[in-house]
Amino acid sequence: MSEHSEAPAPEAAPEPEAEDAAETGSAGETGSAGEPVRRPLALVGDMLRPRLTRGQAAGALLCLVLGFAVVTQVRANHHDTKFATARQDELVGILSDLTQRSERLRGDLRDLENTKAGLERDARGQTALEEARRRADDYGLLAGTVPAQGPGVEIVVTDPRRAVRAANLLDALEELRDAGAEVVQVGDVRAGVDTYFVDRPEGVIADGRFLPPPYRILAIGDPHTMATALGIPGGVVRTLRGLGAGVTVTPRARMTVSAVRSG
């Protein structure tokens, strides 16, 4: 035996028992690769926890849409089958009510059509009546059978020399008509389309009536136009004044021609 004996080798540490090994999954412990060691109970919980996949989500949405469609269709079928499930007497009552409503609507429609036709007839009749009245007034004014009112001019011709002749008064009437006079009265005579002037020893005769001077002429029409036409050089006013007669032309905003012809 050698002088120095070797020291005895240290005894190996006893291996932990199985129970201790099962408890080595405490928090903070790591394995040989540095990964955390999980407890078995935690692993079982993870396995039992439900997981939602894309397929499951799509299936759930499809079921929701399908359910809504089914409910809607059921409600529609309920309304559609209302008459199919009704009793015969109920259907007869519904049909009778619909028939009565249809008849009332047809009656209302006929009434409206009759009212419309009456209004159209009244409108046509009223329009025709107004047109007839307007034409009668126009014809009456042209014929001189109705009085007239409106703007115009008043002409007064004095004749101190007794030089005014029938032709001068006729020229005055023609110039007034050419200037747009619609109605003319000379003295007490309503001038018409066949009015005539004649010289007599006692004076001028118009349509068989004596016209004593001064001669007063009323003409309804545009005052400015008629006054201008009467005052042109060589016109009737210049001619009458050349004979020594006095002539005044007065525009009137409104005047009345009361003389009428006897037919």
pLDDT digits (tens, 9 = 90+) for 128-147: 778 878 877 777 777 788 89
Q: Where are the beta strands (DSSP E) in 136-214?
A: 148-158, 183-186, 189-190, 197-200, 203-206, 209-211
In a domain, 245, yes or no: yes
Angle at 117 between CA 115 and CA 121, to 5 degrees: 115
Give 47: exposed, middle or buried? Use CB within 10 Å, 0-12, 13-18, 19+. exposed
Cis peptide before 251 (omega within 30 of 0): no
Domain that holds residue 228: 144-257
pLDDT bucket at 246, cuts 50 / 70 / 90: very high
Question: Do residues 181 and 152 make contact, with C-beta atoms less than 8 angstroms apart?
Answer: yes
Residues composing the chain: 263
In the predicted model, what is the mean pLDDT of residues 3-11? 46
Give pLDDT, residue 148. Answer: 93
Residue 162 belongs to domain with CATH number: 3.30.70.1880
Question: Do residues 191 and 257 make contact, with C-beta atoms less than 8 angstroms apart?
Answer: no
pLDDT bucket at 188, cuts 50 / 70 / 90: very high
In a domain, 130, yes or no: no
Angle at 168 between CA 165 and CA 171, to 5 degrees: 150
In a domain, 194, yes or no: yes
Render pLDDT for 94-141 as a digit per residue (tens, 0 to 9): 777 778 777 888 888 888 888 888 777 777 777 777 887 887 777 777
In a domain, 129, yes or no: no
DSSP, collapsed to helix, strand or coil, labels residue 88 as: helix
In the predicted model, what is the mean pLDDT of residues 190-200? 91
Each as own residue / partner, the long-range contacts of residues 243-246 (CB below 8 Å, 24 or more positions apart, any chain) are 243/161, 243/163, 243/164, 243/168, 244/160, 244/161, 244/163, 245/157, 245/158, 245/159, 245/160, 245/161, 245/163, 245/164, 246/156, 246/157, 246/158, 246/160
In a domain, 214, yes or no: yes
Tell me what the pLDDT averaged over the chain comes to: 77
Question: Do residues 186 and 154 make contact, with C-beta atoms less than 8 angstroms apart?
Answer: no
How many domains are contained in the chain? 1
Strand 203-206 with 209-211, pairing: antiparallel
Spatial separation of the C-alpha atoms in residues 119 and 127, rounded to whole Å? 12
What torsion, rounded to 10 degrees, do the Cα atoms 147, 152, 158, 159 define?
A: -80
In a domain, 105, yes or no: no
Strand 197-200 with 189-190, pairing: unpaired
Task: Characterize 88-104 residue by residue with b for buried, 16 or more Cβ atoms within 10 angstroms of its Cβ, and e for exposed.
Answer: eeeeeeeeeeeeeeeee
Give pLDDT, residue 44. Answer: 52
Spatial separation of the C-alpha atoms in residues 29 and 34, rounded to whole Å? 9
